Amino acid sequence: MKTIGLLGGMSWESTQSYYALINQGVKEALGGLHSARMLICSVDFAEIAELQQRNEWDQAGELLAAEALRLQQAGAELLLIGTNTMHKVAPAIEAAISIPLLHVADAAAAALKAEGVQRAGLLGTAFTMEQAFYRERLAANGIEVITPEPAERADIHRIIFEELCLGELRDSSRQRFVQIIDALAAQGAAGIILGCTEIGLLVQQQDTPIRLFDTTRIHAQAAVATALGR
């Protein structure tokens, strides 16, 4: 079993989901008392969020690249960035390390293609929905992406940062997400990418008939498969 390195804390609410999902995956694969070999670096999300807001992505990339290198030096043999948005600085992180980085958008695209979904709606932070780094990565993997309308994107971004990252799960926000999912399905989305690691805490498959692709779960499953050589 390879040792998984996780860049977490962005937010810690979703980092604990990664930890649970990865260990559950190893237990299911190996049985008994098996659990994951895992190293976690949990950063102070307030620092990262401030850099996001100031559009200082290079500095954010340097910060996370240094932490990724620390994980490698501590013994990590593969790396996960436990947040969709900060894959914007994935190139800077990859340049700093020599171990493989499992990109969340690649894992998501593989899951979509496995179920024959070629056109998907993307939900996430405003950075993820509106900037090119994530949508282009999906497009390079053959996935056509559609995003919500501007007012809907603003609502999603607000709910993520003002509620989900703080551990607040509100029925009214769940209903708003379902409305937006329905609108994307009406535009031809055959599936919905939950492209923020906190969204799966609020919206689950039981809430909508539209196929959901929870990137936290998908990313964790990819990490387990890679760590176990499968």
What residues act catalytically? 83, 196
Work out the end-to-end distance of the chain between its first and last CA atoms, rounded to an integer number of angstroms.
10
| Cβ-proximal residues to 127 (8 Å cutoff; 6+ apart), any chain | 52, 85, 88
Closest by alpha carbon to 72, among 41, 50, 45?
41
As a 3-state breakdown, the chain gives helix, strand, coil percent values, each rounded to 5, of 60, 15, 30
How far is residue 204's CA from residue 93's CA, in Å, rounded to a whole number? 31
Q: Rounded to 10 degrees, what is the CA torsion of 200, 224, 106, 131?
A: 40
Show the tokens assigned to 120: 């998907």
Q: Rounded to 10 degrees, what is the CA torsion of 46, 194, 172, 185?
A: 150
Identify the burial level of 106 via C-beta atoms within 10 angstroms of its C-beta, where 0-12 means exposed, 13-18 middle and 19 or more buried.
middle
Are the C-beta atoms of 195 and 14 separated by less than 8 Å? Answer: no
**Chain Cα centroid distance, residue 7:** 11
